[in-house]
Amino acid sequence: QVRLAESGGGSVQVGGSLKLSCTASGVLYNNYCMGWFRQAPGKEREGVAVISSGGGTYYYANSLKGRFSVSQNVPKNTLYLQMNRLEVEDTAMYYCAADWRYGDYCLPNFAGFGIWGQGTQVTVSS
- In the structure, what pLDDT confidence band is assigned to residue 113 with cuts at 50, 70 and 90? very high
Angle CA(80)–CA(5)–CA(12) in degrees, nearest 5? 55
Which among 81, 71, 84, 90 has a CA at the least distance from the CA of 21?
A: 81
Indicate if the pLDDT at residue 121 is higher than 90.
yes
Cα radius of gyration (the chain): 14
In whole angstroms, what is the distance from residue 68 CA to residue 60 CA?
A: 8
Q: What is the pLDDT of residue 76?
A: 92
Convert the pLDDT of each residue in 3-29 to its tens digit. Answer: 999 999 999 999 999 999 999 998 778
Q: What is the pLDDT of residue 1?
A: 83
In whole angstroms, what is the distance from residue 87 CA to residue 83 CA?
A: 10
Q: What is the pLDDT of residue 29?
A: 82
Which among 47, 54, 65 has a CA at the least distance from the CA of 110?
A: 47
Which among 38, 43, 54 has a CA at the least distance from the CA of 110?
A: 38
Convert the pLDDT of each residue in 28-80 to its tens digit. Answer: 788 999 999 999 999 999 999 999 998 888 999 999 989 999 999 989 999 99
Q: What is the pLDDT of residue 28?
A: 79
Convert the pLDDT of each residue in 89-106 to its tens digit. Answer: 999 999 999 999 999 999
